[in-house]
Structure 1
Amino acid sequence: MDAQIVWTIVCGLAIAVGAVGVIVPVLPGSLLIAASLLVWAIVVGGPLGWIIFGIGVLFVASGMASSAVLTGKAMKERSIPGRSVVIGLLLGVVGFFVVPVVGLLLGFAVGLFLSEYARQREFKPAVSSSVAALKATGLGILAEFGFASLAAGTWVAGVLIYFLNR
């Protein structure tokens, strides 16, 4: 089997894992997509590989930036400290291993709530800020996933162009 075909398959699998990793933060996400695009550009070489890499990395960077801006803006509006998100992430990782399938989301939500409750010392405001943080995080993930999908689609188009013109 041709080395370029093998590397294309490997890069495609890594891009798929990266796309899933945007949604499931335990897996590597956008950075894995960018790295896979780079590897594919090096293996394929020529203008096509580097054009696909450039466009794909612009999508990846746009996704990461939009996720950070959307999430950060919502958190700042509600004065939710980064500490609450970090505690949510830590409990999310624990939940991932304790409760199959939904443990990551459940652990994140519980950790976020506990941190907000410890900070505010009142139930309703802690629930309100936790829900706002969950919505902001979800919106950021959705935006990053959209751009990751555009990067993956760009790569698929590049692969089709490359192998049809080979």
Structure 2
Amino acid sequence: MSGLGEVLVGLAILVGLIGIVVQVLPGNVLVLGAILVWSWTTGGGAWWVFVAAAVVIAVAELGQWLLAGRHMRRADVPWSTLAWGGLAGVVGFFVIPVVGLLIFFVGGVFVAELLRRRDRRAAWRATVAAVQATGITILVQLAGGLLATLAWGVGLFLT
């Protein structure tokens, strides 16, 4: 692959990592897709880099569901509450660019839990648990994306 191609793959990986943190783009899909393109065009041992990145990202995706799910079950917060918060966050992203995502997510979760529990304190505790679960998700996905990026960097150096 040419130097320009490698720079473009690196930029796509960077966009994917940002997408993990901002939670607007499918970050790890972009990271893995960029590594796939690099492996395809480079060939040879680069495929082992793709396999390693795919395994790391698959483990991270599974881990984030298990860890965040356990956290949500402990707080007795159903996934539907996160879905309502996510929908509100998407609307908020367009109402107040970028910052609205977080504000409307928290508000959506709080309203969904307030309607479900009919108690403000319990709804707020559930909202805090949902935000913590989202943070766990982001950290685990980011760890997977960074490890996949490290694998790509090593593969780039060795090929």
CA shift, 1:10, in A, is 2.0
TM-score by length of 2: 0.94
Distance in 1 (alpha carbons) for counterparts of 2:3 and 2:42: 10
Determine the structure 1 residue equivalent to 2:93: 96
Partner of 1:156: 153
Match of 2:58 among 56, 61, 66: 61
TM-score, with normalisation over the residues of structure 1? 0.90
Q: 1:4, 1:43 within 8 Å by CA — same for their partners in 2?
A: no
Q: Partner of 1:77 in structure 2?
A: 74
Tell me the percent identity.
37
The code of the aligned residue for 1:125 comes to A
Alignment of 1:7-156 (within 5 A): 7-47=5-45, 49-156=46-153
Q: Which amino acid aligns with 1:129?
A: A
Deviation at 1:6, TM superposition (A): 3.1
The alpha-carbon deviation at position 25 of structure 1 amounts to 1.7
Which whole-Å CA distance do the structure 2 matches of 1:39 and 1:109 have between them? Answer: 37
Q: CA deviation at 1:66?
A: 1.2
Contact kept? 1:7, 1:43, Cα under 8 Å: no
**C-alpha distance after superposition, 1:116-151 (max 9, x if no partner):** 111101100000011011111101211110121111
Number of residue pairs the alignment of both structures matches = 159
- CA displacement at 1:107 relative to structure 2: 1.2
| Counterpart secondary structure, 1:46 | coil
What RMSD in Å do the two structures reach over aligned CA positions?
1.3
The SS at the match of 1:80 is coil
Q: C-alpha deviations, 1:82-123, integer Å up to 9, x for none?
A: 111011111111111222342111111111111111110110
Alignment gaps of 5+ in structure 2: none
How far, CA to CA, are the matches of 1:124 and 1:117 in structure 2? 9
Letter in 1 for 2:15: V
